[in-house]
Homo-oligomer: A and B are copies of this chain.
Amino acid sequence: MLRVRLKQSLADRGYRLTRQRAAILEVLAGTREHLTAEEVHRRVRFLCPELNLTTVYRNLNLMARQKIIGRVDFGDGRARFEARSDHHHHLFCLGCGRVIEIPACPVSIDEVFVRQHSFRITEHQFEAYGYCADCDRPGSEGAPV
């Protein structure tokens, strides 16, 4: 089960499985949404009412750094977190914030070019923005990618 695996990964790396960490993972594992620290905090208060926002930040960072969970940046100034930690990308609706996960990585960089510059790529980030069916109304101009 997802939440068991997530909690196990903490123990595996020598981190304590505290009540607050369990609650945070519980929240993330229980949704497919991509939550900000604030949102995690709000939802976690149900399971663990005294949990401090600072602790939420500290643990989301820890877990993202350990690649136990994933962190995404949709360019709106706050990080979002999700239970998935494998390499993938998203469509982000500028209208409602809805997120659709893209199954395959659509990026293929010209290897010759990269080699010419002797650059070693270790990671990349890609996110696409636009409007989902519900938010797409005439009036918001836009050229497809």
Total chain A interface residues with beta-carbon distance under 8 A = 39
Q: Are A104 and B114 within 8 A (Cβ)?
A: no
Shortest C-beta distance, A118 to chain B (Å), equals 4
Give the complex CA separation of A122 and B107 in angstroms: 17
Q: Are B136 and A129 within 8 A (Cβ)?
A: no
Q: Which residues on B sit within 8 Å (CB–CB) of A110?
A: 102-104, 106
- Residue interface bits A94-111, CB-to-B below 8 A is 1, else 0: 100000101110111110
A132: Cβ under 8 A from any B Cβ: yes
Give the complex CA separation of A143 and B122 in angstroms: 5
- Residue interface bits A122-135, CB-to-B below 8 A is 1, else 0: 11111111111100
Interface residues, chain A, with chain B CB atoms under 8 Å away: 73, 75, 91, 93-94, 100, 102-104, 106-110, 113-114, 117-133, 136, 140, 142-145
